[in-house]
Structure 1
Amino acid sequence: MDTNFQPITSTNARGHYRQHSLEFKRALVALSLEPGVSVARIAREHGVNANQVFSWRRLYQQGRLGVPALIRDDGLLPVVLAPTAPAPGNSTADADADADADGTIMLELGEVRVRIEGQPNAAALAQVLDRVLR
């Protein structure tokens, strides 16, 4: 936990409430979600109450803390394709049949759930993903 985040704070008219940036909140949430990390310790190290961090975690899980860190700034999800070797005994006819088979795409982001079955039109799929990932 040698990462040190500086909160961007301001006060309201009454002068005693701090307003942290979304970046700061997301950074603390990301730190608090690491395995074996104490939320109380993270909060104490960054000068906030542990209950506040738990509240930000709930907002993050509901998709209400802005765009989650796993989505890049350009609105695309990072994708890594792993090379797959054909299973023993698979013929080229089986591979061709698999390429034509319909599939299902399921996307969950906060409270938004999208399920697409079959072979979607690429332009329509791009529009749906553009709207969901805003």
Structure 2
Amino acid sequence: MDTNFQPIISTNARGQYRQHPLEFKRALVALSLEPGASVARIAREHGVNANQVFSWRRMYQQGRLGVPALMRDDCLLPLMLAPTAPAPSNNCSDADGIIVLELGEVRVRIEGQPNTAILAQVLDRVLR
């Protein structure tokens, strides 16, 4: 019985990873965020993996592609400030104002002093 204790080393180098420019990533993300767009089709047309495009979309939403997620031009929300009755002087924390956000069929009404963390979560869900 002959035993070979030598490791098998593959000589096939995987190659260099492609480094895509930031503008290319942003352009593909913008295409993929259009209504009715197919991420798989966009990725195939541009020679990248669809998983990579989804990764860039996540980075974009987190603001890691140089464009903050809430500063996009294509998702400005109409804002209407409604006047309110003045709050009683002894209890001014009940109602400091009203914010009404309308986006299509979605309407969000925020009264009083909203918690910033909860407000950020609400806006994140509405903007998706």
- TM-score bracket, shorter-length normalisation: 0.3 to 0.5
Q: Answer with 1 or 2: which has the greater Rg.
A: 2
TM-score by length of 2: 0.44
TM-score by length of 1: 0.43
